Structure 1
């Protein structure tokens, strides 16, 4: 039997599963530098060697949380080995996702612009 090279949406399914598992595993970390985080997305390279984990922060400092998560990446990857049934478990790279904070800034700017326009009219 030949191995099927292009399984449709496999990388999306793997990324989604990694996102769910990492979210659970992060809760087990006891590092006080890690604030209240949310795992927003996971981007996996085509060879499954690396995964960029995008997170947002509710409470805590971005730099400290990102550093602590990247230091714990080996522990989290080990946890993924036990949970995932894939040949290659990717090396994890944590990166702060600025989408949420940027959206809040833009929303604030729009509200200010509308308020200014309303005063002018």
Structure 2
């Protein structure tokens, strides 16, 4: 793979995501974080800044933001050492709302489909009038016409 098709900043970002996940799991033992997932890390081209996108389950995103922002300085040193780069990147944490948005859109789509199906069932019931006279059988038709039914 050539470096132009896969820039160094992207390779370092993937490694930073793995390292930060482990550091946060090991070093930050704050129960207010809930289940934290790092969804993506984006590095600047000069590797001076890392934007870390995260999602939380079972915790308030604002509280998680405060905890992560205050821990950024503590995480920066070990991250730089493990990555083997001269200057550790400045960490910026951003709550990733993509998962919540996707779940909300899925629920809306499911609701729309259910409503459409219910509407279809209601309109089908309205189109078919209740049977005042049952559909005549072949035997009944033959008797009404004065003919003998088939097979007799």
Q: What is the Cα-based RMSD across aligned positions, in Å?
A: 1.4
Structure 2: unaligned runs, 5 residues or longer? 121-152
Higher RCO (CA-CA < 8 Å; seq separation 6+): 1
Structure with the higher fraction of residues in helix conformation: 2
| Displacement of 1:36 | 1.4
Which of 10, 13, 16 is the equivalent residue of 1:15?
Answer: 13
Q: Which residue of 2 aligns with 1:118?
A: 117
Looking at structure 2, the residues matched to 7 and 119 of structure 1 have their Cα atoms a distance apart, in angstroms, of 55
Distance 2:9 2:80 in 1: 17
- TM-score scaled by length of structure 1: 0.89
Higher strand share: 1
Structure 1 ranges of 4+ moved more than 4 A: none
Question: Number of aligned pairs?
Answer: 116
1:119 Cα deviation after fit: 1.0
Please give the per-residue CA displacement for 1:53-85, whole angstroms capped at 9, x wherever unaligned.
Answer: 000111211100111001000111111122011
Bigger Rg, structure 1 or 2: 2
Secondary structure of the residue that 2:52 maps to in structure 1? strand
List aligned pairs for 1:1-121, cutoff 5 A.
Answer: 7-8=3-4, 9=6, 10-28=8-26, 29-121=28-120
Q: Distance in 1 between matches of 2:86 and 2:33?
A: 30
